[in-house]
Amino acid sequence: MSEHALHPETWVDLYADYLFNYALPRVSDTEIAKDLVQDTFFAALKSAENYKGDAAERTWLIAILKRKVIDHYRKVNSKKGKAEIRINYGSNDESEGSWLEERVADPYSKQEINALENEELRMAIQDCISKLPKKQALVFTMKTIRGMDTETICNELDINPSNLWVMIHRARTALMECLNKNWFKL
């Protein structure tokens, strides 16, 4: 078995909850989130030959899920249709004038608000990561954000797995304290 081999038999056990928790806040519907996770697994199986091992299995599945979420919104928007605006040239006759199709982004829509909040949260997280000790921030970023595997990180940084997990635990604790202080202000 190659080092870049996928293990679809373990996906549900290892990644279903993580993928579901990623999808749910983005679609705000439990059933749709479940469907998107299932669609992600099917798409991953179909495109398994394209997996090069550049990213961790979970990271690769998240990338597929992101595309599924985007596809979901494209499908929803195409079903709703485009708003039609009648331009009338001073006549009530429907044969005169022209129809314009227009999509207008609603700045107060849940999707727009979520995008803004996600950007603000991303900036808060980056700010908190920048306050961590350098090596702790590096380990946290490599493992949690970039999805690198433990062995690769340990080899690159010349640390043992126990060290890595202690640093990640300390980083997570410090990040939660920082976010509670600076982001989750009530």
Instruction: Note the pLDDT tens digit of each residue in 12-63.
Output: 999 999 999 989 888 888 999 999 999 999 999 998 888 887 778 888 898 8
So what CATH class is 106-186?
Answer: mainly alpha
Q: How many residues does the chain have?
A: 186
pLDDT digits (tens, 9 = 90+) for 120-149: 777 878 888 999 999 999 999 898 888 888
Q: How much is the pLDDT for 123?
A: 80
Could you write out the three-class secondary structure of 132-147?
CCHHHHHHHHHHHHCC
Map out the domains of the chain as residue ranges. Answer: 1-104, 106-186
Give the residue ranges of DSSP H helices in the chain: 11-27, 30-46, 57-80, 110-130, 134-140, 150-157, 161-182
The CATH number of 1-104 is which of 1.10.1740.10, 1.10.10.10, 3.30.390.50, 3.40.50.2300? Answer: 1.10.1740.10
Phi and psi, residue 69, nearest 5°: -65, -45
